[in-house]
Chain A
Amino acid sequence: MLIQNKSIVLMILVAFSPITLASELGKTIVMQGNSSGAMACSICHGANGAGQAQAGFPNLAGLDPAYMQKQLQDFTTAQRHNPIMTPIATALSTDEMNAVSTYFAQQSTPTMKPTTADDSLLKAGQQLAQNGNWANDVPACFSCHGAQAKGVGMYFPALAGQHASYIEQQLNSWRSGQRSNDPNQLMVGIAQRLSETEIKAVSAYLANLTATNN
């Protein structure tokens, strides 16, 4: 009887613990949006966070949660301007941002279809990702985003398995100044020193790398 009581207490504790509540909140917003006008994340990113390659909606599954929280915060400022995300992020409270970030971080990384990019483009992308182009002060992607671009902490997101369309779009956003929320302006300078061909090549190569959870 005593043991049974303990289990009930434990169940109640688990059910109402802040973690459980947060994950419920995350799931609810992902699936339904909130009452302040944020639409459901799943409409564009999918319930599993896989995103949509064609539309350039990023894969969020398995990304670092603190990285995603920061991006949502930054969408509410001029640091990361995006016509779709800015109004959504503005309609989320900090707790809600944290909850959806945690939700997506916990989703397992989807298996991406191999890209149709041609071999020479992928080879050029691999060269840049692994070795950089130091003659132009571009370090290897892997030197900051980690071995095989699996991501390093909250500042260097995983790029492996991210949609090529999204990576390309972001590199161009840094070049144009639409995105300037990189710590210490590390990406702005690098993006500006990349050629159009290099951007296409490295995006295709990174998209093709198998992603794993951060």
Chain B
Amino acid sequence: MWLTKTNSRPPQGHNGRLATRFLGAVLLSSLLFNPAFAEEKDYQVELPAAPKGPASFTPPNEADIPNNAFGDAVRYGLSLFTNTQQLRGQYVGNELNCVNCHLNKGRQANSAPLWGAFPMYPAYRKKNDHVNTIDERIQGCFTYSMNGTPPPFGSKELTALVTYHYWLSTGAPVGQALPGRGYPKLDTPAEDPSVSRGEVVYQDNCAICHGENGAGTQVDGRYAFPPLWGKDSFNWGAGMHRVNTAAGFIKANMPLGKPNSLTDQQAWDVAAFMNSHERPQDPRYEGNLEQTAETFHQHQCFYNKEVDQQRIGQGVK
């Protein structure tokens, strides 16, 4: 067990019927979903890790965005990227903006910079057995991280976002993983990530911005600091709900202005704390928690795990 304070055993305290049903579901799902089939539809697959070493790629300056139709698309993409809430209700279903996870307008190394992602696409994914374009990858962000409905292929919004990615990658080698790409991969922690230790780290380092209850901080109805869990945050299908992904992001980028100030252990612990709370349901959920967990959550996460005697992954609206 890599997670403490969790329990993946069938619920004992309820009744035998429930436990039997649970076991039944596990058996049924293992019969129905062989591993190859089980992984279908998982768009949140990680690309190869970035090579070690300091980031050396420098994206172009904003002042150099050309003053033509192409430049207009770059600027619109940048605008959508920094203020994604302008698509709220249309393509965005929560209170987040792209820049919450891709800091510094998608320019920042070790914060999943766009210049690290764009040159890696199109990429064949064994997981869904077809070649994925960057458009499809960005659509995945809307489905999961933004808990919304993706802008369609060819829409002006998706095209503008792709154009911004492309422009930011000017001069980056195509098909080559660059140092600083994605979030850093932390070594396995000395001790299993602990929700209760993570809570202490959270209250000491994160709560003044993200709130004691992870709800973020609002000013005049807009979020100055994003909600980390609950109905207004990313859903159970987003990459950030994985404890390892969140730990890497947190270590390299949080608290804002104090990167790499937490120990690896603290980053793992606080990532576990953050991701041991309810959030919107995984959009791939079709009515059966165990089945969804079995198919899509064979990774380091709390989906369908017990935290404080509660099975989480029920989703919140």
- Residues of A in contact with B (beta carbons under 8 Å apart): 131-132, 134, 137-139, 143-144, 146-147, 150-153, 155-156, 183-186, 189-190
A143 partner residues in chain B, CB cutoff 8 A: 256
Given A150-B219, A183-B208, A184-B205, do A144 and B256 touch, yes or no (CB 8 Å)? yes
Given A134-B107, A138-B257, do A146 and B219 touch, yes or no (CB 8 Å)? yes
B259 CB–A CB distance under 8 Å: yes
A151 partner residues in chain B, CB cutoff 8 A: 219
B4 CB–A CB distance under 8 Å: no
A139 partner residues in chain B, CB cutoff 8 A: 103-104, 256-257
A132 partner residues in chain B, CB cutoff 8 A: 104
B225 partner residues in chain A, CB cutoff 8 A: 152
B209 partner residues in chain A, CB cutoff 8 A: 144, 155
Q: Which residue of A lies closest to B256 (CB)?
A: A139
24 A-B residue contacts at CB 8 Å? A134-B103, A134-B108, A137-B257, A137-B258, A137-B259, A139-B256, A144-B224, A144-B257, A147-B219, A147-B222, A151-B219, A152-B219, A152-B224, A152-B225, A153-B219, A184-B204, A184-B205, A184-B208, A184-B258, A185-B258, A186-B256, A186-B257, A186-B258, A190-B257
Given A132-B104, A134-B104, A146-B224, do A155 and B257 touch, yes or no (CB 8 Å)? no
B159 CB–A CB distance under 8 Å: no
Of residues B204, B222, B225, which shows the largest number of chain A Cβ atoms within 10 Å of its Cβ?
A: B225
Smallest distance from the beta carbon of B287 to chain A beta carbons, Å? Answer: 40
Secondary structure type dominating chain B contacts = mixed
Please report the number of residue pairs spanning A and B whose Cβ atoms sit closer than 8 angstroms. 51
Smallest distance from the beta carbon of B304 to chain A beta carbons, Å? Answer: 34
B173 CB–A CB distance under 8 Å: no
B217 CB–A CB distance under 8 Å: yes
Smallest distance from the beta carbon of B246 to chain A beta carbons, Å? Answer: 19
A189 partner residues in chain B, CB cutoff 8 A: 257-258
B255 CB–A CB distance under 8 Å: yes
A153 partner residues in chain B, CB cutoff 8 A: 217, 219, 224
CA distance A200 to B105 in the complex (A): 25
Smallest distance from the beta carbon of A170 to chain B beta carbons, Å? Answer: 16
B205 partner residues in chain A, CB cutoff 8 A: 184
Of residues A132, A139, A151, which shows the largest number of chain B Cβ atoms within 10 Å of its Cβ?
A: A139
Given A134-B104, A144-B209, A146-B224, do A184 and B219 touch, yes or no (CB 8 Å)? no
B208 touches A155 (CB 8 A): yes
Q: B93-116 CB contact bits vs A (8 Å, 1 = yes)?
A: 000000000011101100000000
CA distance A183 to B204 in the complex (A): 9
Smallest distance from the beta carbon of B59 to chain A beta carbons, Å? Answer: 11
A152 touches B256 (CB 8 A): no
CA distance A186 to B258 in the complex (A): 7
B219 partner residues in chain A, CB cutoff 8 A: 146-147, 150-153
Apart from A134-B103, A146-B224, A147-B219, 17 more pairs, CB < 8 Å: A131-B105, A132-B104, A139-B104, A139-B257, A143-B256, A144-B256, A144-B257, A147-B222, A151-B219, A152-B217, A152-B219, A152-B225, A155-B208, A184-B208, A184-B258, A186-B256, A189-B257
